[in-house]
Every structure is written in C-alpha cells, then in structure tokens.
Amino acid sequence: MEIPITGFMIHSNDPGSEHDHSLFITSWDGRPVKMHVHPFSGQTSVDVGHFHRYAGKTEPAPSGVPHVHNYYVETTVDDQHAHLIKGTTGPAIPLPNGGHYHYFEGFTTVNGRIPHSHRYSGNTGNEEGY
C-alpha cells in the first residue's frame, strides 16, 4: 500500500564533516500535517568526578503519524569543558490525557583534560506546536 506524502527538504550547510538533509512532511495521505517539537532536559552520568546538565528542544516532526525526532544540544561547562549530545528519539509513547512523549538515550561526545564521555537518558516533555 502506498501513502502519498508531500513535503520539502532542507540542505545542511554545516562546515563539519557531516552533510545531511532534513525532510519536513507537509501532507500525509492528502491531509495537512502539523509539525511539533518536544522539550527535553536532564543531567549526564558522573564520570571523572563530575556531571553535566543539558536542556533543549527536539527537531520538528509531523503530528498524527508514526515518527521520531532528532535532537542536538551542548551540555553545561563543568570541569572546564562541555560535551555534545545528539541522537534520535524512540517512537512516540501516548500520554493518558492526549499528546505523547519520546524516550532518548546515548553517550556524549568525548572531551575533557582526561578524555571521557558521559551516559544520558530520559523522556521528552509533551509535544508543543511548531
């Protein structure tokens, strides 16, 4: 079964080594699709005697269809350095009174006087219109 979708693609001009494109869906099976984001925050594991905090919003994704979100945020500066957190959430988990959230987990980038990474995990907040 084919489901017609429409949307647009954004080309990333990031100077780093990662080149990517993001697809934003604007209609699904002939119906307009609204986009949404999720807030997320937490703190990393304690490694090499310290931890970091982080907070941000996911990238947009379509509402009302199966989806995941990409996320990217820099941690607080602790022990004279910061780390990057980036990844893709798990699928939507419905909330009893409507809306949904997503689980996320992973490891930060490696940084610090003593090179190390930190583990992080959590749930996003409920969806917010975009």
pLDDT digits (tens, 9 = 90+) for 50-63: 999 999 999 988 88
Q: Looking at the chain, how many residues does it have?
A: 130
Q: Percent of the chain beyond pLDDT 70?
A: 88
Task: List 62's β-bridge partners, or say none.
Answer: 35
Q: If you ran DSSP here, which 8-state letter would residue 115 be given?
A: T
Q: What does the alpha-carbon distance between residue 81 and residue 69 come to, in Å, rounded to a whole number?
A: 27
Nearest to 127 by CA among 94, 87, 84, 105: 94
pLDDT of residue 16: 59
Higher pLDDT residue, 17 or 90?
90
